[in-house]
Amino acid sequence: MGSGVRCNEREENREIPLALIHQAGPSLTEFCGIVRSQTHIIEAGRTLRPSFGASPDAWNEGARLIGQYRAGIVSIYVHQLACDDEQKNGPRGRETRGKFGGVFRSLIRHTADGQFDIFPSLSAMRRKRMS
């Protein structure tokens, strides 16, 4: 699990270690098992998307703007945010799920505009869990 996958879509070439993805987002393993490849990340992102209220259209926009791989990682990240919120505040229903669907779409657009980089966000999420 220590290896990473390199994103070859668009200009993003930063390798995201799979260990970082798993450590930052433990809900990934709970819901999808251990991911070991770029294909697994894409599948996990698609699988997790409806659980936090993101529409299929939001996924398609993400795939078009930033590629399926990065959209998958953003989906994993937002899913973990939603799980953390539920753990802290309890289940809240549809209105909260929709909120995280909006977060997903916003992060997709910010990533496409170069205003958001998932790598430091995952690193910060992992540091929070490790402390």
Distances (CA, A) of 2 to 72, 108, 117: 19, 26, 21
Mean pLDDT over each residue of the chain, to the nearest integer: 88
Residues 31, 40 contacting (CB under 8 angstroms): no
Chain centroid to Cα 51, Å, comes to: 12
For the whole model, what pTM was predicted? 0.86
**pLDDT for res 82:** 94
The contacts of residue 4 (CB under 8 Å, 6+ apart) are: 15, 16, 17, 18, 20
pLDDT in single tens digits along all 131 residues of the chain? 445 544 434 445 577 999 999 999 999 999 999 999 999 999 999 999 999 999 999 999 999 999 999 999 999 999 999 999 988 888 766 666 669 999 999 999 999 999 999 999 999 999 998 88
